[in-house]
Chains A and B, each alone.
Chain A
Amino acid sequence: MTGTIFDIKEFSLHDGPGARTTVFLKGCPLRCRWCHNPEGLKREEQLMVKTARCKSCGRCFMPCEHPECQLFKRCIHACPEGLVEISGKKIEAKELAGILMRNADILNFNNGGITISGGEPLMQWEFVEELIESLDCHTAIETSGYAEKDIFKRIIDKVDYILMDIKLADREEHKKYTGVYNDRILENFEYLKSSGKEYIIRTPLIPGITDTEDNLKQIGEIVGDNPWEKLKYNKMAGLKYPMLGMEYMIK
């Protein structure tokens, strides 16, 4: 099974217990306005240019013959600063597992493991399933909770730890700011509670959107006594938008 990933991050500290390696899967059905991983939104490979340091030398615009560059009409092997890259790499689940397991000794020693994140990893659930089955260590998933019930259940049952977002409690607000209603998410949360799995609910604090008293109170009621973490908004979140030719909607 082939999937598309856009990053692997070693020693991620905020993605579950212990020291972990997090793999980011490409594609997400939501469009949160504040999303800090814009390259995780689209399933397809994308051109990513670190524009801030570009010296406008024009080398990457010269025609080239690399097949991988043709789609983008820009050469990814020409930049002397290494600023032009393709975000998104197709990889077999087993091969990915092999790469991740190279550091199994360190992960185990540090009571950590592998976290599968995104985008929304459940968009590639079959790939995720095969990946988990090939990993011989503690596994975690970072999800928006937006997935079909059966799929959600199927994957949750296979991982050791779940980090799930509840961003907005109000149905309409959720639609307004993320592009989808939260019905599925709340329904999946019910399953998560009954699953017996270790998990944590997270709410990103977006000024004026999710950090309102009202929203936090309502989420608090939904979550009840279960583990809940509020994540501070990172001012650098908009950094990558210009690199993808996109505009960040939060000011």
Chain B
Amino acid sequence: MPARGRAPAIVARRAVLPLWIAVVSTLLPGCGAEPPPIGVLLPKSAVWGREAEQGLRLAYDELPEEGRPVLREADSGGTTQGAIDGFQMLVRSGATVVLGPFSTDTCIGTGVVADDLRVPFVSPSATAAVVTRDSDYALRVCYSDDEVARGLAAFATEDLELTRVALLVDLSRTYALGLAECFTDELARRHGRIVAEIGFWPDDEDLGDTLDRLVAVVDPETPKDEASVQAVFVAGFGRDIVPMLRGATDKRVEALVLLGADGWNGAELRQLIPGRVAAAYHTSHFSIEEQDPAVARFDAAYRARYGEAPSDMAALVYDAARVIFSVYDPRADGVMLRTRLRSVRRFGGVTGEIDLDFSGEPVGKSIVLEQIHDPGQPGFVRRL
């Protein structure tokens, strides 16, 4: 029998120091009771925690000063357990709606608790399809991985007229598995097909070997066009293929078109890719190059305040916060707010128009497609 006395780290509820930072605590004039706060569940330690907070603050400060809701923050620490603890703490302190958490895993865990507590949450960035499917109180403002995969498959077959694709799948993440499956199906529907599938684990020391396997199936000399690969779909994060590409010595790589989902914004990748492959396309949530006045306004305000360009994350949080503010009512409880969130229609977000449906999904949200070129060239291609 394993040691019984020792409380394992996973169960032991970490004593999360309640980070009760009431950004503003306005009392409703003339009203005795405090209005319920809006909870914010941020991974403070994560690199993009700062970007998220900046997006949030920008949205908040755009509200008229009179009657601004109270925000209450908790740190998720980026872990599922942390997110669950934080969510519970926020609800205990009266929150009737929560912004966050951010990643798919943390949202899946939080969804279970939210269903129990009947308090909705809006995730800016959890893209796995299961997030909204498995929880009644989970909503999001970003599109799902399934749609990205379908959009990219459509782009590959229609715009690029590529039909024979190799799949590079990160076998350590469910995220990648979902992307790969949706892409495969959509490609097949469009008369394309996956010619080879190569799995990899990002923490593998021998990623070069993976690339060799890939290159082995890329042979433009092959007479039988059935077997030759025209493009590679990377079901995984862009940063994870950096070590692979860096070691690429084979000429055949130059013939490839790389396709990827979101999370390809690393500077390293941008440096590495140009010139090494035929072309590289990936999706993102938002682009400042797009000639949209609302986006331009957001971009200008963000730059003016923080002295840097807004990231995808900042834009998504900005939108999620504004969606929540647009439905927030101090008299409404969690169930009512969920109903209101589910009826958000044609909301003008900087990341695209947001129409939340009954399952909390932004239906038909458009996907930004970007290309990685030499620095200086515009990346925005179009919306899918």
Q: Do A and B come from one complex?
A: no
Residues of chain A at the chain B interface (Cβ within 8 Å): none
